[in-house]
Amino acid sequence: MEPTLKLSGKYFYGVGRRKTASAQVRLYKGDGKIVVVNDQVGSHYFSPRSLLETALKPLEVVGMQKDFDISAHIHGGGMAAQADAMRHGIARALVEFDANLKTALKKAGLLTRDARVKERKKFGLKRARRAPQFSKR
Sign of the torsion formed by the C-alpha atoms of 106, 107, 110 and 112: positive
Would you state the torsion angle of the CA atoms of residues 42, 48, 51, 53, taken in this order, to the nearest 10 degrees? 80
Mean pLDDT of 28-41: 91
**What pLDDT is stored for residue 137 in this prediction?**
87
Question: What is the overall mean pLDDT for the chain?
Answer: 92
Average pLDDT over residues 16-32: 95
Count CB-CB contacts under 10 A for residue 41. 15
Q: Which residues are 24's β-sheet partners?
A: 15, 73
- pTM of this structure: 0.89
pLDDT category, 9, cuts 50, 70, 90? Answer: confident
pLDDT classification of 6: cutoffs 50, 70, 90: low
Span 103-132, mean pLDDT?
96
| Contact status, residue 129 vs residue 135, Cβ threshold 8 Å | no
Residue 1 has pLDDT above 80, yes or no: no
**pLDDT value at residue 33:** 87
Report helix, strand or coil for 103. Answer: helix
- Cβ neighbors of 99 (< 8 A, separation 6 or more) are none
Nearest to 64 by CA among 97, 89, 36: 97
